[in-house]
Amino acid sequence: MIPDPIVDDVSVVQCDADGTPTPTSDPAGAYVVFVDHGSAPAPEFVSALRSYEGADVLYGDEIDNSAAGDGIVRLPHASPERLRCQYHWGSVVAYRREFLESIGGVDVSLGPVALYELALRATRAGAVVEHADEVVASRPGGPRLGRLGSDHLDMVRTVLERHLGLTGGGEVVAVHEDGIHDTRRRVDGRPLVSIVIPTQGLWSDGSTGRHSYLLEAVASILEKTSYDEYELVVVHDDAEEEILDELRRMAGDRLVLVHWRRPFNFSGKINLGVLHARGEFVLILNDDVEVITPAWIEPMLALAQRPGAGLVGCMLYYDDDTVQHAGHHYWRGDAKHIGMFFPRGVAGPVDGFRVEREVVGVTAACALMRRDLYLELGGMTELLPSAFNDVDLCMKSNVAGRTSYWTPHAELYHFESKSRDPSVRRWEVDVAWGRWASRMHAPEYWPYPD
């Protein structure tokens, strides 16, 4: 039940056991609150409605009564690209009645798909969607949010196809009963992507003998990449001539060699590479990676083409098949990689490793963005030659009002820092935090401590 102090301002619509909203009368309150079967608003829902008076839609965190520990399910802030992959708004969602009526209300004929369709329609209509950073509901637990019966999957596909068609296009690859849907944006045209790789260009000694991380990375790109409109801009130090000759042989006309003649500076090398790049988009890539998924550029490029897009990142694994990077995470003054050391294949909190989603930042080990945006932001600061230069670039993008994205559909191995000194210097911390300490807590898209 909605608590007494605002009962006259709220109309409650309960959902039946299969998730179909079942209004008993015409909504008359200032808010219409949709409550999933077995769930209930918490007393804090009252203050949340009052605190977010300008919201068209409001939801918040929940208590899962079947879970161990405190049972708190922390939900991400409203994320339009994530929403096309997963209904993540929670089991108790309030709509401002005037707004709800302006978009045509809920279509109960869609059954348990109705609230998902309503959320997508509200997003298209420019709804102000607020997420309350407090527990405002409880749910009985059991199947995850958005779970559907197999007989409703065709309707989900229809709803998602319509949504993608009205928001720039895309493809529904698969829909699933567990509520996690594989939808992807399509690449518009065939723009040239400049893959900028900084490298020392030296041989390394391994258990199997002498080898080159650079040559191995380039070989995996050339052999596996399905997108064919790309060039390789390799920015090298005084590299081994034998390695450069092999690069020329392997890459042919795709290769642009740029000689770096100054002391090591990762940022400077990327900046120089971007200046030599011809592509509309630049893909910053470490030299110690290996491509896993052939269609790795396409999902990143499609997201980078979204209006207002910033940087786009992907799933990176260590060589032991644990996660190295699933986005940046700025939490209580620290910068981290999301998902570090989780086993490959784990779904992650609220299935976050399975869906394309908004993020506050990504690693420069593999990051794609528009070349003109890179230049507009001033590129990478050379005050940070080794560490945190990607954090700085992401922060500049955020301040410029850009939204960055992460996709699980592009996967690479990253043999992190195996080709350079991985140590972090105190003065680099001072420079990065001196600029951005006030923004080093940004949990909106990933509200989890670890």
The string of pLDDT tens digits covering residues 53-89 is 899 999 999 998 877 667 899 999 999 999 999 999 9
**pLDDT tens-digit readout, 391-416:** 999 999 999 999 999 999 999 999 97
**pLDDT tens-digit readout, 118-134:** 999 999 999 999 999 89
Predicted local distance difference test score (pLDDT) of residue 419: 45
Across 126-145, average pLDDT: 84
- C-alpha of 431 from chain center: 26
Collapsing DSSP states into helix, strand and coil, what is residue 166? Answer: helix
Other residues' Cβ atoms within 10 Å of the Cβ of residue 50: 11
Domain 193-439 belongs to what topology? Spore Coat Polysaccharide Biosynthesis Protein SpsA; Chain A (3.90.550)
Q: Are the CB atoms for 93 and 78 separated by under 8 Å? A: no
Q: Are the CB atoms for 272 and 260 separated by under 8 Å? A: yes
Residue ranges of the chain assigned to CATH 3.90.550.10: 4-184, 193-439
DSSP, residue by residue, 85-150: TB--S-SEEEEEHHHHHHTT---GGGGGGHHHHHHHHHHHTT--EEEEEEEEEEE--SSPTT---G
Handedness of CA 78, 82, 88, 94 (dihedral sign): positive
Grade residue 220 by pLDDT with cuts at 50, 70 and 90.
very high
CATH number of 4-184: 3.90.550.10
Backbone angles phi, psi at 218, to 5 degrees: -65, -40
Predicted local distance difference test score (pLDDT) of residue 3: 45
Backbone angles phi, psi at 285, to 5 degrees: -145, 130
Q: CB neighbours of 221 closer than 8 A, spacing ≥ 6?
A: 195, 232, 291
Round to whole Å and give the CA distance between 225 and 299.
Answer: 12
Round to whole Å and give the CA distance between 66 and 85.
Answer: 25
Please check the confidence at residue 336 and state whether its pLDDT lies above 90.
yes
**pLDDT tens-digit readout, 244-253:** 999 999 999 9
Rg (CA), the chain: 24
Round to whole Å and give the CA distance between 409 and 407.
Answer: 5
Closest alpha carbon to 218 in 266, 257, 251: 251
Strands (E), 156-203: 171-174, 182-184, 193-199
β-pairing verdict for 281-285 and 366-370: antiparallel
Q: CB neighbours of 286 closer than 8 A, spacing ≥ 6?
A: 197, 198, 217, 364, 365, 366, 414, 419
Its pTM stands at 0.94
Predicted local distance difference test score (pLDDT) of residue 6: 47
Residue 96 DSSP one-character state: E
Q: Are the CB atoms for 298 and 226 separated by under 8 Å? A: yes
**pLDDT tens-digit readout, 426-440:** 999 999 999 999 999
Predicted local distance difference test score (pLDDT) of residue 147: 78
Predicted local distance difference test score (pLDDT) of residue 387: 95
Please check the confidence at residue 421 and state whether its pLDDT lies above 70.
no
Round to whole Å and give the CA distance between 335 and 349.
Answer: 18
Grade residue 262 by pLDDT with cuts at 50, 70 and 90.
very high
Q: Are the CB atoms for 89 and 75 separated by under 8 Å? A: yes
Round to whole Å and give the CA distance between 450 and 67.
Answer: 18
Q: Is 66 exposed, middle or buried (0-12, 13-18, 19+ CB in 10 A)?
A: exposed
**Token pair 């795709």 in the structure block, residue:** 254
Range with the poorest average pLDDT among 11-15, 151-155, 187-191, 370-374:
11-15
**pLDDT tens-digit readout, 145-199:** 677 888 899 999 999 999 999 999 999 999 999 999 999 999 999 999 999 999 9
**Token pair 């110690």 in the structure block, residue:** 288
Which tokens hold the place of 298?
A: 């396409």
Average pLDDT of the residues of the chain: 93
Residue 189 DSSP one-character state: S
Round to whole Å and give the CA distance between 95 and 104.
Answer: 12
Q: CB neighbours of 165 closer than 8 A, spacing ≥ 6?
A: none
Q: Are the CB atoms for 374 and 320 separated by under 8 Å? A: no
Grade residue 417 by pLDDT with cuts at 50, 70 and 90.
low
